[in-house]
Chain A
Amino acid sequence: MTSLYDWSYWFCEAWLVPLLTPLLYFQEHIMPPFSNPAGDLARWMESDPGLNVLAWTIVVNVALMIGFTNVIIVVYLERKIAARIMDRRGPMLSFHSLKEIANDLAGSIPEYGWKTTTYAGIGILQNVADGIKFFCKEMIVPAKADRLLYTIGPVIFISSSILLLVLVPFSPRVAASSAPLGLLVVMAAFSIAPIGVLTTGWACNNKYTLIGGMRSAAQLMAYEIPLLLSMAGVFLVAGSFSPMDIVAQQQEVWLFGIPMWNIIPQFLGFIVFMVCILAEVERIPFDLPEAEAELVEGWTTEIGGLRLGLTFAAEYIRGFVGAMIATVLFLGGWAGPFLPGEIWFLIKVYGILVFFIILRWTVPRIRTDQILLLGWKRLLPLSLVNLAIAILYVEVF
């Protein structure tokens, strides 16, 4: 069992389908002309495409659970760290503040005394409250919007982001799939998102969303090339696109008792990669597509309800996956002493995420023309230099 996909394929083949299909065949038997579809379904489930679909359904659900758990943790971290940077407390809604809320809703006057500490939790329920709020909101479609594109635009963005989670492994043991092209597929999935953004921006029939969508497309196109070039150095050294091989290669060379993770020989590539991945996941200082000061909320201005909530979650998923790729490529992935690999992997990923968060609350936003200049004039040559260094490195070692 090399991956979650293999396991779930085996599970479907050995257990799920043999248990389900007799029921369907029995149903086909008792009412022959009407229940033929049940038999067809059973035969499809036994075939290879059917097993594939069932296996992927399990994989995607597990990935979604893992992904959203991590999103909740990242959002909570972001709020708390932002609050610390801003010299305030941040969300405090917790389990024992629920009593106060219930009292408020019931209309009874709470007793405020020096002993009753109200709302003095650590804020873990804030995200739950946000989720409930998003569920309760009405999904309003603007009157002059293109209904079809307006509906599928966010879906493209959200689904392509969730697809990313399936493709990057946590460790050799915890991996959803073991595609040999690995990280190349991840980058392909990364670049689906601008289509969704541009579609939504156009379909909303709003000038803010239109400009936001345009900016997003321009920015993602400009940063795709240096991003892939900075990754090319790592691929060259490892000789493979697979995350397993890349991490294994980083353990091979040791210098003065330190493993030569790719961050040491290819530090330039690491810098270029981090800047580009910040631009790809659209966080400050590169969050132009949703610059709230000039474009209200950018391309998400007209989206509402659960669609908006899932779009926010998808943005965090993209940030999380960006940190995962950086860890695999440059920080030695799940390698580390004493602790299990998954723990090491999460430590490194969260380290990068905390860096993202601190950066977001410390620097202003950059301008559209400046971001494109930075991408084409600075990062592209630097990534080429990094590629040359990688070639030299391969020649020397």
Chain B
Amino acid sequence: MAEMWIHMGPQHPMTHGLWNLRIKVDGETITDAEPELGYLHRSVEKIGERRKYFMNTTLTDRLCYASAMTWTHCYCLTAEELMGVEVPPRAKYIRTVVLELQRIASHLMWLASYLPDLGLITGFLYGMRDREMFLNLLEIPSGGRLLYNYVKIGGVKRDLPPGFDAKAERVMQTLERRLKEYEDLYDNSKIFRMRTDDVGCYSASDAINWGITGPNLRSAGVPFDLRQADSYDAYPELDFTPVTTSAGNGRSDCFSRYRQRIDEMYQSMDLVRQALVKMPEGKVMAGSVPVRARGEAFRRTEDSRGEALMYLIGDGTDRPYRWKIRSPMFTTVSAAPHFLKGYKVADVPAIMGSIDMCIGETDK
């Protein structure tokens, strides 16, 4: 068969969101690939320049529909640095708790969308069922289930209600039990291993050069976690080390990326427990939050998908002069042709699913 280009997207079951992957195939083997982004561009950064600082949290919620809390938190951290606001300690701990709960929910959503890519639709229902528990948990303080608008500049919107830690503990125990079931169902499944082992490989040095961050980098054995490297909120006071997995020789394949996210869920549950125990009493909002700001600020946080970076310039008015968002998925998708080449057409969903795409933040 001659070589031909196949469009996977913008309307295709493989693309979780609205994007297009063009692959050039020789028979079933991929010889070239070309991601096309921009179908979901909403011009968030430009709109943000016309809105007041505190209004922009609604926009950042909509950056990624699977992980709204972490993006709003990244924006709030940057704005606080720009304005010089000190966050009360209890708010810092509450932020840590909700961020980790959001990370678990996001990873469960990834698990739910990854298994249908491999042909197992049951996995979708299982992942979504478990994510539901964490959405219920996040609904308790914030009132929202998808877009929370909970983290505010200077603290969080509401305090955690009494009894929250007991509810969280019950949910996490359920998840621990179910994660063991999933390990039995997926890790021990010969077909799952055949589809994921040694598929979509890249080395740690390549990943660093391409700008791949987060779980996708740690799955190659690089112990780099911004929660420790550039720590924020209550993370300096918690006891943890970055989890890493590897497919041997500092490489990352689909299975190590799967394993990495499962292990991170265990770690997040551990962090939530620690933060709930150590949580101090006090206010959850800073006393006074300025409306205007001058200068520039830049913060990076560990998003569920990698390194989220925000850069704000204030010119003394109540709106940002310039706002830049660095999305972890934008660079990862740009590197996709490198780790797609040489594999089969059937591996495309397995590889592109394993890096946990989110088009909302990629296209901004």
Query: Contact residues of A with B, CB < 8 Å?
Result: 82, 85-88, 207-208, 211, 214-215, 284-285, 287-288, 291-296, 361-370
Contact = CB atoms under 8 A, between A and B. Distances in A.
B191 A368 contact: no
A296 B13 contact: yes
Nearest to B119: A365
A362 to B, nearest CB: 7
Contacts of B194: 366-367, 370
A366 B195 contact: yes
Given A288-B346, A293-B116, A294-B14, A369 B28 contact: yes
Contacts of B116: 293
B117 interface: yes
Given A293-B116, A367-B195, 9 more contacts: A87-B125, A211-B345, A361-B122, A362-B120, A364-B119, A364-B191, A364-B195, A365-B118, A366-B194
Interface string B5-21: 01010001110000000
Contact of B344 (A88, A293, A368): A368
Contacts of A85: 122
A366 B129 contact: no
A226 to B, nearest CB: 19
Given A87-B126, A291-B119, A364 B346 contact: no
B60 to A, nearest CB: 31
B121 interface: yes
17 contacts: A82-B122, A86-B121, A87-B125, A211-B345, A291-B119, A294-B14, A294-B345, A362-B185, A363-B191, A364-B119, A365-B119, A366-B195, A367-B194, A367-B344, A367-B347, A368-B28, A369-B344
Contacts of B12: 296
Best-buried of A207, A208, A295, A370 by chain B (most CB within 10 Å): A295
B93 to A, nearest CB: 34
Chain B contact patch, size range: 20 to 34
Contact of B125 (A88, A207, A287, A291): A88
B207 interface: no
Contacts of B13: 292-293, 296
A293 B117 contact: yes
Interface in B151-199: 185, 189, 191-192, 194-195
B349 A294 contact: yes
Nearest to A288: B346
B104 interface: no
B340 interface: no
A292 B119 CA distance: 8
A88 B115 CA distance: 18
A293 B28 contact: no
Best-buried of B116, B120, B346 by chain A (most CB within 10 Å): B346
Contacts of B344: 367-369
B348 interface: yes
A377 to B, nearest CB: 14
B9 to A, nearest CB: 11
Contacts of B347: 367
B161 to A, nearest CB: 29
Nearest to B28: A368
A368 B346 contact: yes
Contact of A361 (B121, B192, B346): B121
A284 B119 contact: yes
B349 A293 contact: yes
A375 to B, nearest CB: 14
B208 interface: no
Nearest to B29: A369
B119 A293 contact: yes
A129 B117 CA distance: 28
A291 B4 contact: no
Contacts of B189: 363-364
Nearest to A367: B346
Nearest to A292: B13
Contact of B192 (A86, A295, A364): A364
Contacts of B125: 86-88
Interface string B332-348: 00000000000011111
Contacts of B185: 362
Contacts of A364: 115, 118-120, 189, 191-192, 195
A245 B345 CA distance: 46
Contacts of B346: 288, 291, 294, 365, 367-368
Nearest to A361: B122
Nearest to A88: B125
A335 B56 CA distance: 74
The 6 A-B pairs of least Cβ separation, nearest first, read: A365-B119, A364-B118, A86-B125, A293-B349, A364-B120, A367-B346
B44 to A, nearest CB: 30
Interface string B30-43: 00000000000000
Given A293-B13, A293-B117, A364-B120, A87 B129 contact: yes
B253 to A, nearest CB: 14
Nearest to B353: A293
Contacts of B117: 293
B8 A366 contact: no
Contacts of B195: 364-367
Given A294-B345, A296-B13, A287 B119 contact: yes
Contacts of B119: 284-285, 287, 291, 293, 364-365
A312 B349 CA distance: 24
B122 A86 contact: yes
Given A288-B346, A368-B346, A293 B118 contact: yes
Nearest to A370: B194
Given A85-B122, A293-B116, A294-B346, A211 B28 contact: yes
Contacts of A87: 125-126, 129
A207 B122 contact: no
Contacts of B8: 294
Interface in B122-155: 122, 125-126, 129
Contact of B6 (A207, A285, A361): A207
A361 B118 CA distance: 12
Contacts of B118: 293, 364-365
Contact of B126 (A86, A214, A363, A368): A86
A82 B125 CA distance: 11
Contacts of A287: 119
Interface in B196-245: none
Contacts of B345: 211, 294-295, 368
A296 B346 CA distance: 12
Contacts of B122: 82, 85-86, 361-362
A129 B346 CA distance: 33
B336 to A, nearest CB: 15
A368 B191 CA distance: 12
A228 B243 CA distance: 51
Nearest to A295: B345
A361 B346 CA distance: 19
